[in-house]
Structure 1
Amino acid sequence: MKKIVVHVREDGHKQVEDALKGLHYTASLVQDIYQITIYTPGENLDDLIEKIRGALDLEYKENMIEVSSPDFVVSSLLERAEEKAETKEEKTPVEKLLDTIKGYEVLDLGKLALTSIAGVIALTGLVLDNQTIIIGAMLLSPIMGPIYGFAVYAALGMIKNALRCLGVMASLLLGVFILSVVATFLIGLIIPLGLTEEITTRLVLNPIYTLMAVLLGFAAALAFNRGTTEVIAGVAIAATIIPPTVVAGIVLILDPIVLPSAVVLVAGQIVGLMAGILVAVAVLRIEPRDLYDRTVARRYRTWSVVMIIILFTLLLWLTTLMWM
């Protein structure tokens, strides 16, 4: 159940009430501002918000829409409304999605520190041939956020934000790579290092890995959209990207000849994840509310999909070529 409170100027409340015709709501006047309160099943929220936005002039600072989730509401009318809405699929409002991904386009010290620590722990597990340590490192990495943010921003036509998310992701992975190179070099000065089984298994190219990354990206985006926290949804994503990136840094010092295999594997995983997330965004029907913005967003989304398909095809071809 969702509670919607619409704050609207006295000269605009009639249009909002017309948009709510047929629905049960309460309205009160407080200092020349009408407060209209509506309770609705979560499945109807997105459609109802779109109706209200169409009738509400948000150019005025007094006008706003406030959405919250009450602990519970006792009402026979609402119970009947929920029964009618049970067959509808609940759709996450665009505004909530934007609030969820806020900050992913900004590179801050916290993200960089967590990703770097995850890379060091993963390197330790790879060098010690300890899978448990490698898995533990994935709990720290915030790499899922920028990838998911890219897909949502691209779907909404916010291309600058989408590119910033890609920049954050690239910076985080570059940091992990450089840290792995430096750490491997320094450790190698003290103790002899070799390619362990955990390292060599991440140097084997197989087209199936890229295809699995697509499914993984799709599943992670669905989980993220349903309210699963980044730590949970991002563990699988981090496990797909962070260890191969660390391996690329390790082999640059220990065995540079196999570096191309490591780079192609990392690139294939990233592109596969992004392709899967873009598919999930399309399935979830994430798009702007305004008609003009939808047209712009679809154009940018088409460009994004075309670029991903080209990169995906190229990397799949390289992976197949090197695998054979």
Structure 2
Amino acid sequence: MLRKIEIVLPVDETDKLNEILEDYKVLDRYKISLLEDQALYLITLNVENSGPLLDELEKKLAFAEGFRLNMLEVEATIPAVKMDEENDKNKEDKAITDEDSEDKQEEKNNTTKGLSRQELYADISDSINLNSNYILMCLLSAIVASSGVMLDNVAVIVGAMVIAPLLGPNVGMALASTLGDMELGKKAFKASLYGAGAALIVALIAGLILSPDSWPHEVLSRTSVGWGDITLALASGSAGTLAFTTGTSGAVIGVMIAVALMPPLVVVGILLGAGEFFMAGGALMLFISNIICINLAGVLTFIYQGIRPLNWWEEKKAETSRKYSLFLWIVLLTLLIIGIQFIQ
């Protein structure tokens, strides 16, 4: 994958930019004069190199007057880039010759293995906007999911998962824990809470209206927690996080996240509405366990991918946040596993 970076900066800062670019392999670089005191640079490079470059540009040029950087995804390019040859050139250009180069190389290796941190942050922020469309999608998904579990129809349940917008808020909470970003965490938690609340209201109404003599299998199968449920939630959380960090489509992964969350949630509402409080408690335990597993897997995956803040003082806060969040999720998961063993 390729990225196009557009940089507007003062002319007297162009030497500093050129010095920065010397340490990075770019496919092409063009300079366009705008005004007497401004210049526009157009740079194309591989997505793997975009993160380290953006970090260095932000550190050294972000406070320059008139500086502006935009990054765009390159859908196609002519002539085509020969990736094998490009990778060989990258390996040659990245040869370490002194201690300074070793430090820079180590810093690059510690950055994300996929999208840049800035691009990842923007994608997740866009996916957790709490607006009428988000709430409507949650309501529609809950309606379809409630129909699916009551009709005992797996195909209908999967259809509900396709439209459930639950991927962004859960990955957003994991990213907030990884970066120590309280503002992002509050925004993601609020979106998740409102979405779950909207779905629960729909399911409660369905439970009040529908009172079957016997509950369908799709309802009964979600009134307890098993090892398979924990495995599914852990895999879903990790896969959903990877979908964001690698820039791949999150549609299919979003279905996995929704499978782990929306059906148990609507089963909780339906059973509460029907007065089946004991079974509703089992479904609620399944929903909570899935939240725990998805967030734990998300934080671990972000750490593995090398997601971290830009500045050292932010890194200290993020390190504390990661430790506390991992401790919390691991303790809760351990208690859950002990509970499963005790029940069995």
TM-score between the two structures when normalised by the length of structure 1 = 0.88
5+ residue gaps, structure 2, are 93-108
2:281 corresponds to 1:260: yes
Q: How far apart are 1:90 and its partner, in Å?
A: 4.8
C-alpha deviations, 1:264-288, integer Å up to 9, x for none? 1111111111111111111111112
> Is this contact kept in 2: 1:125–1:131, CA < 8 A?
yes
Determine which of 174, 177, 180 is the counterpart of 2:197. 174
- Equivalent position of 1:38 in the other structure: 43
Amino acid at match of 1:38: I
* Counterpart Cα distance in 2 of 1:219 and 1:79: 27
Amino acid at match of 2:210: I
* Counterpart Cα distance in 1 of 2:80 and 2:139: 52
2:300 corresponds to 1:279: yes
> Is this contact kept in 2: 1:224–1:233, CA < 8 A?
no
2:118 corresponds to 1:95: yes
TM-score between the two structures when normalised by the length of structure 2 = 0.83
C-alpha deviations, 1:143-179, integer Å up to 9, x for none? 1110011112222221122122122212211222222
- Equivalent position of 1:165 in the other structure: 188
Amino acid at match of 1:248: V
Amino acid at match of 1:200: L
Amino acid at match of 2:152: D
2:15 corresponds to 1:14: yes
> Is this contact kept in 1: 2:234–2:293, CA < 8 A?
yes
User: Which deviates more, 176-185 or 261-270?
Assistant: 176-185
Counting matched residue pairs gives 319
- Equivalent position of 1:317 in the other structure: 338
Determine which of 59, 68, 74 is the counterpart of 1:64. 68
User: Which deviates more, 229-238 or 135-144?
Assistant: 229-238
Q: How far apart are 1:99 and its partner, in Å?
A: 1.3
* Counterpart Cα distance in 2 of 1:34 and 1:78: 30
> Is this contact kept in 1: 2:138–2:199, CA < 8 A?
yes
* Counterpart Cα distance in 2 of 1:49 and 1:242: 37
> Is this contact kept in 1: 2:114–2:245, CA < 8 A?
no
- Equivalent position of 2:249 in the other structure: 229
C-alpha deviations, 1:204-229, integer Å up to 9, x for none? 32133223311221122112322233
* Counterpart Cα distance in 1 of 2:185 and 2:329: 14
User: Which deviates more, 305-314 or 18-27?
Assistant: 18-27
* Counterpart Cα distance in 2 of 1:93 and 1:80: 23
**Coordinate RMSD, CA, aligned:** 2.6
Q: How far apart are 1:104 and its partner, in Å?
A: 4.0
Q: How far apart are 1:244 and its partner, in Å?
A: 0.8
Q: How far apart are 1:254 and its partner, in Å?
A: 4.6
> Is this contact kept in 2: 1:206–1:320, CA < 8 A?
no
Instruction: Give 3-state SS (helix, strand or coil) of 1:118's partner.
Output: helix
Determine which of 257, 260, 280 is the counterpart of 1:240. 260
* Counterpart Cα distance in 1 of 2:214 and 2:275: 7
* Counterpart Cα distance in 1 of 2:3 and 2:144: 42
Instruction: Give 3-state SS (helix, strand or coil) of 2:6's partner.
Output: strand
Alignment identity in percent? 21
